[in-house]
């Protein structure tokens, strides 16, 4: 199954605006201000953050289940940083922060599973060109 998304941009880069859809139920507006100046609206990096957080959470759940410690819950936040470099706007860093409730797991096992999930998550693999992807994994008691 192929995932679908689309976008349309109208106008100049600074004064124009765009709309996007992702799948059947996500959509919104974006602009130069929403992407580079914290203005209202969405931006592509938010979509990347949501995709990475959701993919990683599923991958971590799978790794833990395969280790015999199925999860009650895994919540992951992703922060995607874009910077203006010599070569232009570049995603320079992604920070993943995950918290899990996993009966029977200890912190060390949770961190090991999180590392495996980060390496195996399809979105992590797609983002391998990002210079820095960090991971903080915390197991709730």
- For the chain, give every domain's residue range: 5-36, 44-139
Band the pLDDT of 126: cuts 50, 70, 90: very high
Q: C-alpha 81: how far from its chain's center?
A: 11
Look at residue 45 in the predicted model and tell me its pLDDT.
95
The whole-number average pLDDT for the span 109-137 is 97
Encode pLDDT of 15-35 as tens digits. Answer: 999 999 999 999 999 999 999
| Per-residue model confidence (pLDDT) at position 139 | 97
Residue 134 and residue 54: Cα distance in Å, rounded? 16
Query: What value does the mean pLDDT take over residues 52-65?
Result: 98
Distance CA 73, CA 25 (A): 24
Q: Assign domain 44-139 one CATH number from 3.30.300.20, 3.40.640.10, 1.10.1060.10, 3.40.50.11900.
A: 3.30.300.20
Residue 1: what pLDDT?
81
């Amino acid at each position: 199954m192929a995932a679908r998304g689309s976008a349309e941009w109208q106008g100049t880069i600074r004064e124009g605006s765009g709309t996007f859809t992702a799948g059947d139920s996500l959509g919104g507006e974006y602009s130069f201000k929403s992407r580079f100046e914290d203005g209202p609206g969405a931006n592509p990096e938010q979509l990347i953050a949501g995709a990475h957080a959701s993919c990683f959470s599923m991958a971590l759940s799978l790794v833990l289940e395969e280790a015999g410690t199925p999860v009650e819950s895994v919540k992951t936040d992703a922060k995607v940083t874009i910077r203006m470099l010599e070569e232009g706007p570049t995603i320079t860093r992604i920070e993943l922060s995950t918290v899990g409730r996993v009966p029977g797991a200890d912190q060390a096992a949770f961190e090991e599973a999180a590392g495996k999930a980060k390496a195996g998550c399809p979105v992590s693999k797609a983002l391998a060109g990002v210079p820095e992807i960090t991971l903080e994994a915390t197991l709730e008691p």
